Structure 1
Amino acid sequence: MGKTAGRARFARIGIAVAVLVVLAGIGVALAATVGGLAPAGGSNALVVEEPTTRPQDTLEAEPETSADAAAQEAPVEEAAPPAPTPSTTGALKVVGAQLTDAAGEPVQLRGVSTHGLAWHPQYVNQEFFTELREVWGANVVRLATYSAEEGGYATETGDRAALNDLVVRGVQYAQAADLYAVVDWHTLSDANPLTNQWAAEEFFRSVSGALGDADNVIYEICNEPNGSTSWADIKAYAEAVIPIIRANDPDAVIVVGTPTWSQDLAAAAADPLPDANVMYALHFYAATHEDDLRHALSTAVAGGLPVFVTEFGICEASGAGEIDYASANLWVRLMNELDVSYICWNLSNKDETAALFKPGCAKTSGFTLDDLTDEGLWLVDTLKSPGFSREEVALARAEVKDNSAGAQMLVSADDTLQWTFQVADRWEEGGRSFFRYEMAGSNYSAGVKSWSVTVPFNGEVTLEDAWNCQASASGTRLAITNDAHNGNVPAGAFVRDVGFIVSGPADLAVVEYE
């Protein structure tokens, strides 16, 4: 998984190998240093003064091999600005290509979508919507009402009154939680919104009549037109449905789907609707839709088309398959640059990659990181969710390093030193696994009078021994500080003959974290 390059993110085996090559090329035999570390109980710790080049400076000077390689870094490194909310921003409007506040300042909404309300209604509750705002850091929730699928609004099995009531209550819960809410008419298997226009008219007449005074509501009138549906079909449908909403809610923002599963922005840009308070939907799934569709988004916004990504996922378009973190991070970076709002699919425990909750999770609120799928963890990481510790999120998403004898990795210190760790030996005894790590630290910055490094593991760790350092274990962490004789490390010097022995489960290993 990607992590941003920086002092706190050098626990990468691949980078370690490159660093060793760089250091060897400039005369610092770091590999040899690690190999010659003293055994447990050694007292000949050395601080060697030898100027050298900082590894990441050399690595960063190399050209990028591809945009996707660069995207392996964290999705959004810069601090997220305060999210606009109904209580602070009020009703929204469209100005040019932007969703804005009343003063015309760009607004970006970031949040999540329910799955079909007929199948997964349980997540529409006040406790969870408040949690979405306060813990997850979302500022919008989308309420998906399927039209033609089993239990959908336009079907014989659909309970229209119950669906209408759930949507209205969902918007009210969102308002109480200080969230914007998107009311979504989820065209999918019916392909052409004209097919069930009668039902859409009935639905939007009812819900907009109940919500006309709400300043947190946005209407999405056709999710993903597809098949042979043309923009002319969609436009004719929109020209019939939008006046129904406008009769009850004259100033609401309305989002209109686009052809080819809401991907053909060019068709809408060539012949937009006359309503100035309308936006156009773009949907993507990062493992399927990459540079071409990102370029289409950039082109549309540059041309003045207001775009809202009302649905996306980071897996394949089917909602299943592999996650493409690199593509997902490129998408997020682009949407942030363009101030395009985005909503992640989906709030459910369905057994699919795009679900945010694990299949065995029966909760409807009070979610922990352990309840989230890989996509769920990626989302709270991307949202910089205030209710989850950044460190806990990073550890939950952590890449476990190799724990076999001879494996090497880089771990950054809490000061200016960077350390190469090597699993010098491992063995089994009394049902526990023991690991002997040897360390070599390099100072590529200002001199220090003391040093420390915290090493995270993927399980409970017990300290068995340490040499030429002070060490203590607490839970999954090992804290290491200098001994009295090796804390003074001038700029360009490095420390050797330091190490420790820990025990734990057989899969105990160092993990990469922020």
Structure 2
Amino acid sequence: MKRLAAALVAAAVSVLFFVAPAYAAAGLHIVGRNIVEANGQTFVMRGVNHAHAWYANRTNSIADIKAAGANTVRVVLSGGRWTANTASDVANIISLCKANKLICVLEDHDTTGYGEDGAAYTLDQAVNYWISLKSVLQGQEDYVVINIGNEPIGNTNPSQWTAATVAAVQKMRSNGFQHLLMIDAPNWGQDWQYVMRDNGQTILDADTQKNTILSIHMYAVFNQPSAITSYLDTFASKGWPLLIGEFGWQFASGEVSDETVMAEAVKRNLGYLGWSWSGNTDPILDMTTNFDASQLTTWGQRIVNGPNGLKATAKQASIYGGTTPTTPPTTPPTTPPTTPPTTPPASVGCSAAYAITGQWQNGFQGEVKVTAGSAAVKSWTVTWTYANGQAVTQAWNATVSSSGAAVTARNAGYNGSIAAGGSTTFGFLGSWSGSNTVPTLACSAT
């Protein structure tokens, strides 16, 4: 979070080494560079930060963040630097996350800028706060990630971060926490002096459960695409688990290149959590106006509806359920019928319905539902022609191509088979100007 100013300098990155963990913890855990659920399914965080510590009455934002397409929310908590969030309050937040099918990253904001900000707490004090919440955190390892301390060291003596973080991780484990732990970088989270880059292996090795992920915050230090890709390349080359725990947007030339952050995260299968839903002292970083989900700001439109944004890329954690497998056919009778069937076999066919699910200036999100006819289909193709100059710019769950105004969408490798009467959907982002009328669709199947 950028409530506290810090002088920041952009620079290049170098090399570290990571040994893949031999231990897999219960619930969410690290395998290689990935977050993996207890069932072995990889989970990629896509979400936003929510300033709960300062706006405890805005719990409706959890549902709004889910509706915006997120699969994760990072929740600001305080153990006493601000009004403390009690165990019952945290338990309620976890319940809201689960009710809205979100993974819940809980972070203690008290540590922000320690060493530079005299009001900041130590990481050891943050661990004591987590210990005070243990009764409501234990048993939630499938749903909750503990971000021990937000931006735990400022720009003054950032080298202290390594020993303090090692001690914090070890104290969490010695007190019985089995959760996935998230570790923020020093330098107000931006690591411009490369302490996390150069000492990350020490942190990962300190975790007896090998269940820690490192988190970089990307603001003005990362205002050029090259700075972003260079930093991410370093961690990729060593196989270190990493996510982008906070980032803003390029509202001015000296700010972070948010489009690069999101595109690179999607390309590399990294998680990202944008800052923040609403309530900033500098409202340029608000995604909504006064917590109103119907009033997305420019930043909100970019992260919610952008080509690499939440609605286009976030996938719900499998623990909350996913696509129901097709019921296997029952075993056919071994004795053939004595008379041939009088009903002719069903013909293969399909229908398609087009819907605009979101629209903003010059852009929109659409969804097409493909439904099989009276017989199962093995593959399908949907075509349409735009009448008003619209164009598809990105699609998911289908392979979409365009020739002028004509659009052709073919099933992906995993959703071509549809049971008789069953359906599947694919989505896309598009551009428009003037008008955005719904086209007529044609569907064919084999």
TM-score with structure 2 setting the length: 0.58
Separation in structure 1 between the aligned mates of residue 91 and residue 439 of structure 2, nearest angstrom: 56
| Aligned: 1:268 with 2:191 | no
| Aligned: 1:354 with 2:354 | no
Equivalent residue letter for 1:268:
N
* 1:295-351 per-position Cα deviation (integer Å, ceiling 9, x unaligned): 1112212212111211111136xxxx46979x3222212111222111111121445
Equivalent residue letter for 1:267:
D
Separation in structure 2 between the aligned mates of residue 390 and residue 163 of structure 1, nearest angstrom: 44
Higher relative contact order (CA 8 A, sep 6+): 1
| Aligned: 1:99 with 2:35 | yes
Separation in structure 2 between the aligned mates of residue 223 and residue 479 of structure 1, nearest angstrom: 46
Number of matched residues? 305
State the match for 1:246 in structure 2: 173
- Select which of 171, 191, 196 maps to 2:122: 196
| Aligned: 1:174 with 2:97 | yes
State the match for 2:227 in structure 1: 292
Within 5 Å, give how 1:493-508 maps onto structure 2.
none
State the match for 2:68 in structure 1: 136
Within 5 Å, give how 1:33-432 maps onto structure 2.
91-102=27-38, 104-115=40-51, 117-125=52-60, 128-133=61-66, 135-145=67-77, 153-155=79-81, 158-160=82-84, 162-186=85-109, 187-191=111-115, 195-214=121-140, 215-224=142-151, 225-231=153-159, 233-247=160-174, 250-262=177-189, 263=191, 264=194, 265-269=196-200, 271-274=202-205, 275=207, 276-285=210-219, 288=223, 290-315=225-250, 321=252, 327-350=257-280, 351-358=282-289, 361=290, 363=292, 367-368=293-294, 371-381=295-305, 382-384=309-311, 391=356, 393-396=358-361, 398=363, 415=385
Q: Is the 8 A contact 2:385 2:405 kept in 1?
A: no
Separation in structure 1 between the aligned mates of residue 204 and residue 130 of structure 2, nearest angstrom: 19
Separation in structure 2 between the aligned mates of residue 478 and residue 99 of structure 1, nearest angstrom: 41
- Residue 113 of structure 1 and its aligned partner are, at CA, apart by 0.6
Q: Is the 8 A contact 2:242 2:270 kept in 1?
A: yes
Q: Provide the aligned C-alpha RMSD in A.
A: 3.9
- Residue 418 of structure 1 and its aligned partner are, at CA, apart by 9.1
Tell which structure's C-alpha radius of gyration is larger: 1
* 1:21-63 per-position Cα deviation (integer Å, ceiling 9, x unaligned): xxxxxxxxxxxxxxxxxxxxxxxxxxxxxxxxxxxxxxxxxxx
Separation in structure 1 between the aligned mates of residue 27 and residue 34 of structure 2, nearest angstrom: 14
Equivalent residue letter for 2:217:
H
Separation in structure 1 between the aligned mates of residue 94 and residue 228 of structure 2, nearest angstrom: 31
**Identity in percent:** 20
Separation in structure 2 between the aligned mates of residue 385 and residue 139 of structure 1, nearest angstrom: 12
* 1:130-160 per-position Cα deviation (integer Å, ceiling 9, x unaligned): 3433x222111111135xxxxxx444xx333
SS of the aligned residue for 1:238 comes to helix
- Residue 200 of structure 1 and its aligned partner are, at CA, apart by 1.1
Equivalent residue letter for 2:385:
D
Equivalent residue letter for 1:182:
V
- Residue 246 of structure 1 and its aligned partner are, at CA, apart by 2.8
Equivalent residue letter for 1:166:
D
Separation in structure 1 between the aligned mates of residue 97 and residue 255 of structure 2, nearest angstrom: 31
- Residue 248 of structure 1 and its aligned partner are, at CA, apart by 5.5
- Residue 479 of structure 1 and its aligned partner are, at CA, apart by 9.3
Separation in structure 1 between the aligned mates of residue 165 and residue 300 of structure 2, nearest angstrom: 33
Separation in structure 1 between the aligned mates of residue 358 and residue 126 of structure 2, nearest angstrom: 41
Separation in structure 2 between the aligned mates of residue 102 and residue 234 of structure 1, nearest angstrom: 31
Alpha carbons of structure 1 residues 230 and 357: separation in structure 2 relative to 1, 3 Å: same
Of Structure 1 and Structure 2, the greater helix share is in 1
TM-score with structure 1 setting the length: 0.51
